[in-house]
Amino acid sequence: MDDARWLGLACDLALECPPSRTAFSVGAVIVDADGRELARGFSRRDDPLDHAEEAALAGLADRDGLAGATLYSSLEPCGERASRPRTCSELIVAAGIGRVVFAWREPSLFVEGRGAELLRSHGVELVELPGLAERARRPNAHLLG
């Protein structure tokens, strides 16, 4: 797997997010077990409440074979959420995605970041690539002071 390349694309997608003072700008890409892109998304792409992982999952043409898929997200998928009833971590588990790679742990700015723990407790393999965290933080600099 070319984790750094796919996660870099997710970080680049975060730059396309409409700006917000109340939510992070995040990008996500879903890749199948053979390394083919299945879907991509970014925060607020189609709706002001959309999270990146949620937008990518909504873009899937087919949900078969997702156990071997990897979801790449510039930010740790949310494990708590105020704007919608289901968190991104819950949506990922429900979709059957077995692996998540992310760059940056969610800071406790809006909610408590605990998506990684939720995913791990459901058997999802987690890979954190902190070498890309600065790239993931860049479109969120206005939130970080």
User: Which tens digits make up the pLDDT trace of 39-52?
Assistant: 999 999 999 999 99
Domains of the chain: 6-144 (3.40.140.10)
Is pTM beyond 0.95? Reply is no
Catalytic residue positions, numbered: 53
Phi-psi region of 55 (alpha: psi -120 to 50; beta: other; left: phi over 0): alpha
Please give the Cα distance from 54 to 58 (Å, whole number): 6
Please give the Cα distance from 69 to 137 (Å, whole number): 25
Query: Tens of pLDDT along 16-36?
Result: 998 888 888 999 999 999 999
Give residue 110's pLDDT. Answer: 60
For residues 111 and 81, the model is more confident at 81
With residue 40 as reference, give the H or E element that holds it.
strand 37-42
Strands 70-75 and 125-128: unpaired
